[in-house]
């Protein structure tokens, strides 16, 4: 599979370049510059010391690392971070502690994963009517339990 080059800039000499855990991993691990203690139910801003230049037509998505979420209750406070291709600032993650215990994050620890995907630019066009479908306006849970 062809990889797309994404330019990055280290904003701090301690910054760790995002890494992929395996050859076919979709998400690159993001590392925190500094350690922190996050109280139960609390949040903490963590910087990576990295800025990126996402190619036009792509967007960066910041997701939780599965091990942090399932084993320690730590996940991005906004669930999914969206990094637009015109943003040039530091990649920062706000981790929320969903557990009932204080959690420590060490400097240099992997705290999130970063997935870069293409997106479809759209124009929203007002319409008097929308085409009918079998589902119609039936929303949450309307397609069945299983």
pLDDT in tens, 92-145: 999 999 999 999 999 999 999 999 999 999 999 999 999 999 888 888 777 776
More confident residue, 140 or 78: 78
Q: List, in sequence order, every beta strand (DSSP E) within 39-136.
A: 43-53, 58-63, 74-76, 81-83, 90-97, 103-105, 110-118
Q: What is the pLDDT of residue 138?
A: 81
More confident residue, 145 or 20: 20
Q: Taking the model in full, what pTM does it have?
A: 0.89
The 10 Å Cβ neighbour count of residue 92 is: 17
Domains detected in the chain = 7-118 (2.70.40.10)
**Per-residue pLDDT tens over the stretch 28-62:** 999 999 999 999 999 999 999 999 999 999 999 99
Token code pair at residue 1: 């599979």
Give the C-alpha separation, 99 to 120, whole Å. 37
Q: What is the pLDDT of residue 135?
A: 83
Place of tokens 């008097």: 128
């Amino acid at each position: 599979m062809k990889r797309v080059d994404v330019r990055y800039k280290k904003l701090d000499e301690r910054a760790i370049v995002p890494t992929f855990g395996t050859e076919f991993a979709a998400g690159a691990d993001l590392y925190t510059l500094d350690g922190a203690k996050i109280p139960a139910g609390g949040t903490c801003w963590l910087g990576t010391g990295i800025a990126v230049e996402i190619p036009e037509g792509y967007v960066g998505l910041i997701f939780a690392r599965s091990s942090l979420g399932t084993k320690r209750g730590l996940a991005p406070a906004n669930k999914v971070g969206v990094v637009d291709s015109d943003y040039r600032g530091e990649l920062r993650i706000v981790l929320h502690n969903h557990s009932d215990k204080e959690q420590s994050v060490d400097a240099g620890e992997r705290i999130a994963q970063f997935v870069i995907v293409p997106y479809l630019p759209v124009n929203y066009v007002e319409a008097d009517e929308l085409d009918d479908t079998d589902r119609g306006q039936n929303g949450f849970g309307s397609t069945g339990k299983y």
